[in-house]
Amino acid sequence: MKLSLENLTKNFGEHRVLDDVSLALEKVHSLVLIGPSGGGKSTLLRIIAGLEIADSGSFAINEERVAFDEKSLREHRRHIGVVFQAFNVFPHLSALANITLPLEKVHGFTPDAACETALDSLRRFRLEKHAHKKPAELSGGQKQRVAIARAVAIKPRLLLFDEPTSALDPEMTAEVLDVIEELKREGRDFILVTHEMGFARVVADYVAFLTDGKIVEGGEPAEIFESAKTAECREFLRRVLKY
């Protein structure tokens, strides 16, 4: 993945959530965004996903600049797989239908092709026996794996994970993190927002620390976790790694 963020700014009312964010990465498979709550991580991820529009600035993925008009964003979203912290699976649909619906309605698959692709994705994440269960019948970890299976089924050029384990207990957290680590080993390109610092260190090719709407520091995991240069990053890591 080649990623270029140039002077991205986003305001909600009088509150500036992103403040002139820039970042240039080449040949990075996994970017992990860390930092305090409210620092701008999720907003940045949503802009990259095409779900929010920046007030100013631009970004490009693999040298393809993304325009902020609705037609361009709609096309961009077709190639991005997003997994949210609260699962975002449709409660009235089975696990299988949660995957086939976007394949048919957004990506133009025939019902048979959508079903075959969805079943392949469920098998990939060890969910085939749960294909006809609704979310209420699944554990939190299983629901999040369905969400990941849905994101992967569209064969996206980039996967985005927004704190995918924040609603899970420790056992289910490990279950989901194992899946993301598998995707890393496969060479998938993804951006992950997480508060799981141990996992961030293991899975990241590059770590960016955001606070107060700015990328204050970035580098390889060892640089950030062992010898952070800025006081803000050192203090954040001291707090979150204290226990």
140 lies in the same domain as 116: yes
Amino acid type, 76: H
Does the residue 7 lie in any domain? yes
Identify the residue whose tokens are 């085939």.
128
Structural domains counted in the chain: 2
Residue finishing a domain among 156, 184, 200: 156
CATH of the domain at 24: 3.40.50.300
Rounded CA-CA distance 172/157 in Å is 27
Domain contains 200: yes
Residue 112: pLDDT over 90: yes
- CA 154, 23, 218 angle in degrees (round to 5)? 105
Structural domain ending residue among the three candidates 156, 176, 195: 156
Q: Are 162 and 42 in contact (CB under 8 A)?
A: yes
Q: What is the pLDDT of residue 243?
A: 81
Q: Are 9 and 18 in contact (CB under 8 A)?
A: yes
Residue 87 has what pLDDT?
Answer: 80
Residue at 70 is within a domain: yes
Alpha-carbon distance of 243 to 31, in angstroms, equals: 25
Domain membership of residue 25 as a residue range: 3-79+157-240
Could you tell me if 164 and 65 lie in one domain?
yes
What mean pLDDT is predicted for residues 10-35?
96
Q: What is the mean pLDDT of residues 187-211?
A: 96
Q: Which of 99, 121, 156 is the last residue of a domain?
A: 156
Predicted structure pTM score: 0.95
Contacts of residue 35, Cβ cutoff 8 Å, sequence gap at least 6: 41, 209, 210, 211, 236
Look at residue 86 in the predicted model and tell me its pLDDT: 81
pLDDT at 239: 95
